[in-house]
A and B are shown apart, each in its own frame.
Chain A
Amino acid sequence: MSREGWINALLLAGVAGVPLWAWAVDEPFTITLATRAAILALAGVGLNIALGLGGLVSLGHAAFFGIGGYAMGILASHAQAYDPIMEAPILIQGTKSMPVIWLVAVAAAALAALVIGALSLRTSGVYFIMITLAFGQMFYFFAISWPAYGGEDGLSIYVRNGFPGLNTLDPIQFFGLCFALLLLALLFSARLAKAPFGLALNAARQVPTRVATVGLSPFRLRLVAFVMSGAITGLAGALFADLNRFVSPTMFSWQTSGEIIVFVILGGVARTCGPVAGAALFVALEHVLGDLSDYWHIYLGLILLAVVLFARGGIVGTLAGRGRAHD
């Protein structure tokens, strides 16, 4: 196994080991923290496909995270109120079933990514960042001004949604579910990076003219990457809402987009497990420093500065060294 492989294994063992230990010593709050880290990592894995492989700096991924969250919130709130979402022309009921909610979250986020991507991928660089930011803000203000689903106050879901065969109210079981999805997404993104699609997308990031000259469309590659990226971040949004049993417009805020970027940069851009390292560190800092000071973001800022200035590969990149050439 490569050095990065060992680091990844260690990292995942840590993310799984901490909650198992917490479960053994009956510390449910620590399990919740680990679940939060796993879910945020999943959102980062999604962004990493666009940002790391595709070089697409999206400051609008909160849109997909929030869409996932609201997909859960809307479906579950109708189900808990026994109030169908719509009756005509066809009857659509809410649901408390996680697999169905996930499917809806992924599909809705993918659709939004298709539309946002088709419009914003015509630009690049700073313009792309600004357009994605603008789309994110549109969703944010839309959510605030949509009273049917709580407006500014958001939506509370009283009981966590269910998964066949599991008791999702048990923190360790819900963690297991989230961790399993994270592993699946990591497997997918690792395969993707080496597959023809990843190779072409990665080349389109470096030399789009070359990619066009061999007959492939950089735009289409990026658009598909953006859709996959948004879909995974949307799934994370649904889980995040389920973890908190609460959805609010904050999920759509540009700060959320910024935080997802921070996970990726802290952990290591284009490194498969970079977002895991980044999100875990973020949650740990938030917990430890947040107890000490309300201004813990200052320390986060300093760490981010150090990474950008002295450790461009992020946590994983710095530990693993330059990899990926010989395969």
Chain B
Amino acid sequence: MTDPVLATDGVTKRFGALAACDGVSLELRPGEIHAVIGPNGAGKSTLIQLICGGLAPDAGRVTFRGRDVTASNTQARARAGLGRTFQVSALAMEDTVLQNAVLGALGARGGAFRVWRPALRDPALRDRAMAALERVGLADVAAVRTAELSHGQRRQLEVAVALTLEPHAFVMDEPMAGMGPEGSARMTRFLDGLRGQAPILLVEHDMDAVFALADRLSVLVYGRVIATGSLAEVRADPAVREAYLGEDA
């Protein structure tokens, strides 16, 4: 078996008495989309924070590309090649779409300490940013203020910024959240093609998307992984049927 690109090993995070993540171990392998599903408050976003460095675990380890990154901060993990998207869009709303994408391109370049040449006139930055915007279908609105984008477009921009980083793994928190059926379908097709570029750890509530995309699936309930495996394996798992998918699964 090939080594996983990204792995958590028993990561735990407590908020007071609540264990939002409780000994979570999972792996993201090259070329796969690994979906993480679970009811509201199961600890999915907390898990992503632990993976990306926004929170430090109380126990457990995170390894990325063979290195223990548990002690690294968010910036260091991003530079190591982790591309994250947020459940609630985290974009510079006063800036244009292009400026947000250029920010990603600056991150990819590894520094922003240039003070003289305009960022948007730097062909290398601009090309990288525009290429990412084109891929998600936002090239037409590159000059629009981000605050003026529709909700769905903001979700696309989240993904575009991650693309500019050309990461070694994507970690996406509900990229289709609130997108509507058409937008979800388009995003699903897009992510399907993306797994060839880098594997995706995909947290998603949209079951159509999960069933269409996931090579493997982990089910998180009350901070614990109750099942992990292929779609068929997880569907057949009695604990999952009871706790999450319901009778009709």
Which residues of A approach B to under 8 Å, CB–CB? 188, 191-192, 194-203, 206-207, 209-217, 221, 224, 325-327
Contact = CB atoms under 8 A, between A and B. Distances in A.
A188 B53 CA distance: 35
Contacts of B123: none
Interface string B33-67: 00000000000000000001110000000000000
B165 A224 contact: no
Given A203-B100, A216-B103, 5 more contacts: A195-B118, A199-B99, A210-B103, A215-B110, A216-B112
Name, among A195, A213, A224, the residue most crowded by chain B CB atoms within 10 Å (CB to CB): A213
The majority secondary structure among interface residues of chain A is helix
B83 to A, nearest CB: 8
Interface string B92-130: 111110011011101110111111111110100100000
Contacts of B113: 196-197, 224
B161 interface: yes
B246 to A, nearest CB: 35
Interface of B: 52-54, 73-76, 78-79, 84, 86, 90-96, 99-100, 102-104, 106-108, 110-120, 122, 125, 143-145, 161, 164-165
Name, among A199, A221, A224, A325, the residue most crowded by chain B CB atoms within 10 Å (CB to CB): A199
A191 B103 CA distance: 17
Contacts of B119: 194-196, 198-199
Given A212-B78, A213-B74, A217-B75, A195 B106 contact: no
B92 A214 contact: no
Contacts of B122: 196
Given A199-B102, A206-B94, A214-B104, A221 B112 contact: yes
A48 B194 CA distance: 42
A213 B115 contact: no
Given A199-B102, A199-B119, A209-B90, A216 B75 contact: yes
B74 A203 contact: no
A271 B24 CA distance: 49
Given A200-B106, A212-B78, A214-B103, A206 B95 contact: yes
A144 to B, nearest CB: 37
A200 B115 contact: no
A191 B114 CA distance: 10
B74 A212 contact: yes
Contacts of A195: 114-119
B94 A213 contact: no
Given A195-B119, A214-B78, A216-B106, A325 B112 contact: no
Contact of A325 (B84, B117, B145): B145
Contact of A199 (B73, B84, B93, B103): B103
Nearest to A191: B116
A53 B131 CA distance: 28
A27 to B, nearest CB: 39
Query: Would you list the 6 A-B pairs with minimal beta carbon distance, nearest first?
Result: A214-B107, A215-B78, A200-B112, A215-B107, A212-B74, A215-B79
A211 B116 contact: no
A25 to B, nearest CB: 40
Given A209-B54, A212-B74, A212-B78, A203 B145 contact: no
